[in-house]
Amino acid sequence: MKIRIVVLATAALLVAVALSMNVASAGTAASSATASSATSAAKAYPAPKVPRAAALKKQYGGESITFIGDSVGGSHARDVALAKQFTKDTGIKVKVVPHPAASDASYSQLARVFSSKSSSFDVAMIDVVWPGAFAPYLVDLKPKLGKEAKQHAQGIIRNDTIDGKLVAMPWFGDFGILYYRTDLLRKYGYTAPPKTWNQLFAMAKKIQDGEQASNDKFYGFVFQGNSYEGLTCDALEWYQSAGAGGFIDNGKVTINNPKGARILTQFANQIGKVTPRDVTTYQEGEAHTAFVEGNAAFMRNWPYAYSIGQDPKSSKIVGKFSVTVLPHAGGKSVGTVGGWQLAVNKYSKHVDASIEFVRYMTSAPVQKFNAITNTNVPTIPAVARDKAVVKANPYLKPEIASVLRVTRPARDLKTHYNEGSKAIYQGINQILNGRSANSVLPGIQSKLNRILR
């Protein structure tokens, strides 16, 4: 079955909508401390009320829907707060179920439900690279949400439009950024964060050597090194920042190249030296936990982690860190595009009530709520420019938000994206765990070539 997938057209387009895009790959489920962070933020900034609530209550009150929502950081608590407000205002009961920790596991879960034509859930988060694969199983939202879609960055709307049907609405965006300890940089004589990966490794080693004298849990750098979708995102940033390409370029598999092998080897050489040895098992949650507990100088992660680091109930480094663009290795600093959309299951028994839930969850007031309480990237440009939103989200400042965004190779892999990404992240994880890049990359190249045939 060949389904056309419309992915964000070009890197230039991504720059044009820089304030709006997201991965995002999901991380581990929230710890209780992280969940309390989102809960306390929600109390300080309450969930928006639902417009036209009385009319919706009269028409759909008493219906029940199931929402497969987020699991990374404090996002599940955010989803619950919004669902409670929606239920309170409309009488539509919403059961919130967090999706599996890893993005590819979430994909498999949805694929099983769709293939069985099940109505076990009504609304689900879907990754930015999935609309083409799942389009046959999703409700066309254009007739009811077409007007609202005009508020969002049009690059994402085009991404979510398959064969003329709007199969999902933008929920929030993401892109990879570098977190760093401002206090430790000053302590060890640095006046600015690193510009290159080699600078990061050197700074991380110096800070780590000093800090481990009093904290044997401290390491210089943490990232998403586990064998899952997040590693595809991280590695794409390494490749592009080293001028090694995007794994598949102009329809041709290019992952096996000298620059790619070189940057992967550089990262592999840091494992257990400036990173924890088990960073090769880290997803988003393990990385942000290490950072906010004061056990890392640098971290690669998504913007959601900023809210956790700034909450005194979950963080030991409040006011001691900042963010900037990721380093490069002779190329340009980049950030992998992530992003999650909300879609309605075609087999739902409550399609109209589900669409109203999506309307609310993707609205401008809710996007502002998400940005302020959970530091999620708005997909509505007007919200991304809001002064309160920018104040809460330093990564929305032009010098960071305008970084070149790079996309995973979904355009080429189409409905086989999950299979292709698995070949990429499994192989790169093997390299991080000690196998030579030159022995692994040819195998990844062959697998991707077979998929493209």
Q: Quick one: 310 and 377 in the same domain? A: no
Q: How confident is the model at residue 74 (pLDDT cuts 50, 70, 90)?
A: confident
- In this structure, are 144 and 202 located in the same domain? no
Residue 270 sits in the same domain as residue 363:
no
- Tell me the average pLDDT of the chain: 90
Burial 375-406 (b: 16+ CB within 10 A, else e): bbbbbbeebbebeebbebbbbbeeebbebbbb
Looking at the structure, do residues 56 and 181 belong to the same domain, yes or no? no
Report the distance separating Cα 26 and Cα 287, nearest Å. 12
Residues 23 and 162 occupy one common structural domain = yes
H helices, E strands: number in the chain:
22, 15
Residues above pLDDT 90, as percent of the chain: 85
Judgement on whether residues 219 and 331 belong to the same structural domain of the protein: yes
pTM, to two decimals: 0.87
Residue 399 predicted with pLDDT over 70: yes
**Judgement on whether residues 71 and 160 belong to the same structural domain of the protein:** yes
The answer to whether position 413 is within a domain reads: no
pLDDT on residue 98: 95
Which tens digit of pLDDT belongs to each residue from 290-301?
999 999 999 999
1 vs 344, which has greater pLDDT?
A: 344
Q: Are 274 and 329 in a shared domain?
A: yes
Q: Residue 429 domain-assigned?
A: no
Distance CA 178, CA 211 (A): 20
How much is the pLDDT for 43? 54
Q: What is the pLDDT of residue 68?
A: 97
Token digits of residue 393: 């989200």
CATH code of the domain covering residue 282:
3.40.190.10
Using the 3D structure, point to which of 318, 335, 352 is the last residue of a domain: 335
The answer to whether residue 156 is domain-embedded is: yes
pLDDT of residue 30: 34
Indicate whether 305 and 346 sit together in one domain.
Answer: no
Structural domain includes residue 448: no
In a domain, 315, yes or no: yes
Tell me the CA distances in angstroms from 240 to 243, 263, 325, 335, 338, one per residue in order: 5, 10, 13, 9, 15
Q: What backbone torsions phi and psi does residue 252 show, to the nearest 5 degrees? A: -115, 135
Asked if 71 and 188 sit in the same domain, the reply is no
* Last residue of one domain, picked from the residues 335, 363, 384: 335
Domain of 395 in residue numbering reads as 13-175+338-404
* Residue 273 token pair: 């030296």
State mean pLDDT over 139-166.
96
